[in-house]
Each structure stands twice: as C-alpha cells, then as structure tokens.
Amino acid sequence: MDLTTAKTRVAELHNILNQYNYEYHVLDNPSVPDAEYDQRLHELIDLEEQYPELKAPDSPTERVGGAVLDAFQKVEHQTPMLSLGNAFNEADLLDFDRKVRQAIGENYSYVCELKIDGLAVSLMYEAGLFVRGATRGDGTIGEDITANLKTIKSIPLRIKQPLTFEVRGEAFMPKKSFENLNIARAEREEDLFANPRNAAAGSLRQLDPRIAASRNLDVFLYGIADLGGTGVVAHSEGLDLLDELGFKTNKERRTCANIEEVIQYVNGWTEKRPHLPYEIDGIVIKVNSLAQQEELGMTAKSPRWAIAYKFPAEEVVTKLLDIELSVGRTGVITPTAILEPVRVAGTTVSRASLHNEDLIRDKDIKIGDYVVVKKAGDIIPKVVNVLVERRTGEEQDFKMPTHCPECESELVRLEGEVALRCINPKCPAQIREGLIHFVARTAMNIDGCGEKVITQLFQESLVQDVADLYKLTKEQLLGLERMGEKSATKLLAAIEASKENSLERLLFGIGIRHVGAKAAKTLAQQFETMDALAKASFDDIKDINEIGEKMADSVVTFFEQPEVAELLEELRSFGVNMTYKGPKLVTAEDSDSYFAGKTVVLTGKLEVLTRNEAKEKLEAKGAKVAGSVSKKTHLVVAGADAGSKLAKAQELGVEVWDEEKLIEELNK
C-alpha cells in the first residue's frame, strides 16, 4: 500500500473506530462485536507503524497508552474549578432555596444531577480536537493528565463541531472494574484499593498511561466552563449540547420546578443508589438559568446558585466488643463483629460481617478495637479498617476455633477455599439453616414458616430434615409459642400448597451447593424431572449454558449421596412434585417464533396480561425475559406509566411495542 492509499485508509479507520467507540462507551449500544473493533484497531496500528507521519493526535490508537511520563506538568485553569457548598438534610436544602428565592424572586427552576464519586477533570478542546486534560487540583492549579485521560474511551478525541472550549466532568471507576481490579491485585498479593474513587484517582495519576488504559475508567461530563459563545441560556441546554457534540453525560438528571421536586428526587436516589453500576455520594442541585446564576454570583469558595446534597455518612467509628461465630447451611463458619450500637446511613447497627479468618488477620482486628464500619447497600455492614492509634493495650487477639461451635466436629479448610467448614452432615446448625432456606420465599415459599417458627420446630425435635415439614400436625403446631388455631391452619395449608411447586423451587430449596435460583431454573428446564437430573452425567450438565464445571461437579456429587436418594423418595411419598411445570425450553434453532433467542424487557402496567403471564408466554416462545434494559436487549414491551426502562430503550434505540402488538405476535 502506497502513502496516498494508506492516508485514505487511515482516515476511514479513524471514522469507523470513533463511531464504534461512541456506540459502545457513550450510547452503551455497540453495533459490532469486540472482535470487529479489535481487527480494525490492529489494522490502524500496523499502518501507523508503517507510516509514522500518518499518526494524528486524535488517533484511536492513543487510547492504548503511550510512553511513560517523567512527571505531571502544572496547569492553570482559565476558569477556576470551585467546590460546592454542602447540604446534609432537608432543612439545608430548604434554606438554600430560601436564599435563592430572596435573591431572584419566584420564577426559577433547578437541575438535579447525580454526584459521581470520582475525580473532577477539565478537558480542553481546540477547533474540536482534545488537546489537554487536567485534574482539579486546588481549583486554580491542576496537573496535566492528558495522556491518561486519552485512554478513557468515552472521552471523544475529536468532537462533532470545531469548537474551542473547556468542559468539566467526573472521571470514575465503575463498580465492576473496581471489583476486577482488586481481584487481580489480591492474586498478585498487592494492597487493595479502599474504594472506586481512590482507584480512579490512583489510575489517573499513574506516570505510565498503559496502566490507566488497563483500568477501564469512565467519565460523565457535567458542564462547560464558559457557555458564552455557544448560544446556550440554561444549564440543561448545556448538557444537551454536550450530548449533541458526542460527550457522555449522565442521563439520570432531572429539571425540577421547585424545591419540593428536588427533595423528591434526592429521596428517590438515596434509596436507589446501591443499584447503580457506579458510586455516587450525593446530588448536585443547580439553578437552571445562566442569567440567574450570574445574578446570584459567587462567594470566595463556591457559587451561590448551586449546592451539593451529601448522602448520610456511610462510614462511622465504633468499638468492636466481641466476635461471634455462626454456622451456615453449607457448614461455613462465619465470624461476625458485635459492635457498640451506632447509626450508619440512617439505621442503628450492632453487627458487622467479618467474612472469614483471613480477613480478620489481614485487617489485624482485635476484640476491643475501635473500627471504621461501612454500610454500602448491604443489610449487614462491614468493618473497613482498625484505628490502631486508639489501642490501649487491653485489646485481645481472636483465634478461630478448631472445632464447630455447634456440634464440636473438627473444622476443615477445603482446597481452594478461605473459609473454615464443618463437614458433619448432622450438625444441628446446618440442619436448621437448611430448613430456613427450604421454606424461604425464593425456594418452596411456605408462608408463615419463617426463621422463628423453624427454630421452635427444630428445638422441639418436630423437624430434623425438610421431609419432616410434611409430617406436621395441627396439634404439634398449637404447642408452639404464639401459634394459634388460625396460624396453624394457614401454615399447614401453605405446606400442602408447596407440594405443587415446579421442580426449580424444590431444586433450589434442597440446597445443592453452588446452585442458586437461576441455575435451578436452568437445570429444571433442561432435564424436566428430578430423576432425569439425578441420572445426568457430569458432561451432560457442564455443557449447559450458564452452568459450568464447578456447578456440574457439585450437582453430580450431591445426587451420589445415599441420604439424598432417601430424602427425595420420602418427599415423593408425601406428594411433593418432582417435575418442571414452567414453559419448555425453546431455542432459536428449534422454533420459528419471532421471540426465540431474543431478550425482552417488560415495563409499565399491562392491561390484559399480568406481568407473570406475559413472562411465561414469552419464555414459552423461546425469549429470555430480563429485568433491565441494556445494549443486549432486543425488545421492550411498554404498558401504562412506563418509566425509566422505556426512556432507556428509547435512548439506546431498542424496539418498543405496546401490549396489543405483543399479544398479536404471541397469538401467531
């Protein structure tokens, strides 16, 4: 290939790869598989090596990371990157609104945005080309981290208009990237990052851009430093302009007519934030009108037209009083910290998970220590670290026992596991926990038979295994504490009704190691009867999609136990169903249905079908019914009052049907 032909091809590859990057990292809707992108990228790398003069500063190859830097250069921000004032409760928000109203009158609105927990960055563009990126620093002077920011694929190296301006945003590490990074660091016996924010900051301050490139960082842009030359008159319009130019903005933003709507938005995200794929630590509230922002002005430290609502503190200090051990249904011994009661994220906690002996040793936890406790969407908080400087010398080391705290059997550590385990099949704690699991809503769904009832039944020797539940009489139940005639009758009816459950509930309920509810459904669909699954070979099971070798080995080992065969025979004698009752397994290969092999999401209120009826009918036609919209979704069925899932589908360009069209296609 000569230079002229190569130059033309390089330009073509720039356009192709930039479009692929935009679809994947900004729209979250790739049009080609990863292999196609990689093939084009390697073609471009080869051409640039052959003709170095064709390598441009906005080349997609810049994203893989270049030469190691000697140091970061200092950068002065033309417009200072000021911090925001904070609000910690509803009263603070109302006070902020009062000051705004006093200054500009009654006619105004706010824009609410999620406050991403990452590293604030500034991106400078000249004639549409990304030329410099910097950290916030002290707000006036930052550090030039252009080479590292170029590795973030959601940052466009060239925008769709030849504008010269500065944009601001937040670089962050998604939760999944953070989890994978710490797993890899643990395998290399390196120190773990404490949280995604620290990991993102550490990644962007690496002198080797290849390290930043390997960390899978992302960014949300939230503003333009100077909107004067853009014709934009409101903050919300500025965000829309960023979208049009090819930047990635956060789509969860909302324009609110008044402070009451702001508070509603704040309360909603206070509850929903654990479900986001990235960390947020608050909500940013800004007056929408740029003219009103200018009228409100600034203090020496922050703008008067914006405030950051900070979520309740999720890390607190308390004293670790003791360490208690519990035995799970699989025999795992789990240590739990007993704490001096403390408020964390709106609730009082007195217990925190310690997971296993290795964690206690790695964090150097002693009984009597003052510890930092974190609650990040979990029911039981976790101990983050110990405040060693507050030790008095009276703290006591903790050692895991050598024998089970329930049955005194010797504990073992199985190969490849960090947890100590009791392997006595008659351990009372394991039996009790197994019973609690069996009756749970996600398993056999025996209403009225919760943990307290199971504990009483076990203590009174009325049940020793799950089959004993089907032998219970009303007289036996009436002898339990707080169990009246009505409650006993309802419980017996629930036990009787559970006999009719489809196979997957029983499979999940009997507690096969590594088999969760989803895997139980997959196995039940594939084999249809308990007998067929019990006779299946390791190869039969491991070749099923989403199962794998570890789970297959666990299933085969489970059914090889004589006790299991006896238990299943006893359950069968009581009339417990052993057959799959759900929609049969249908694949795209053996069905001519429109839905075969497609991922469908249901949202909003359906008028004719219930949500479960629609799900069952779709699965019977070979569809996979998912709970959220993503780039892999083929179809969204939207009923009345459809909300964020419909908006997400429209944003990604996913096909949307109403219920009428769904029923029409189902009936074909």
Q: Which residues are catalytic?
A: 115
Q: Smallest Cα–Cα separation from 623: which of 583, 567, 570, 564?
A: 583
Question: Rg for the chain (alpha carbons), in Å?
Answer: 30
d(CA 548, CA 562): 24
d(CA 336, CA 324): 5
Distances 193 to 101, 190, 213, 418, 648 between C-alpha atoms, Å: 43, 9, 17, 20, 32
Q: Residue 374 is which amino acid?
A: K
Provide the Cα torsion 263, 266, 269, 270; round to 10°: -100
Cα dihedral 529, 530, 535, 537 sign: positive
94 burial via Cβ count (<10 Å: 0-12, 13-18, 19+): middle
Query: Which tokens sit at 492?
Result: 């017996």
Q: Smallest Cα–Cα separation from 110: which of 268, 285, 231?
A: 285
Query: Which tokens sit at 352?
Result: 């925190």
Residue 635 CB: number of other CB atoms within 10 A? Answer: 21
d(CA 591, CA 589): 6
Q: Strands of 129-135's sheet, edge to edge?
A: 129-135, 119-126, 165-172, 218-224
d(CA 440, CA 433): 11
**What letters, b where the CB count within 10 A reaches 16 and e where it falls short, cover 451-485?**
eebbebbbeeebbebbbebbebeeeebeebeebee
**What letters, b where the CB count within 10 A reaches 16 and e where it falls short, cover 491-501?**
beebbeebeeb
Quote the distance between the C-alpha of residue 484 and its chain's center. 43
Beta-strand ranges (E) seen in 627-667 are 635-638, 655-657
Quote the distance between the C-alpha of residue 426 and its chain's center. 37
Q: Residue 641 is which amino acid?
A: D
Number of helices (H) and strands (E), helices first, in the chain? Answer: 24, 22
HSE of 581, CA atoms in CB hemisphere, 13 A: 11
Which residues are CB-neighbours of 105 under 8 A, at least 6 positions away?
none
Which residues are CB-neighbours of 221 under 8 A, at least 6 positions away?
123, 167, 168, 169, 242, 247, 248, 249
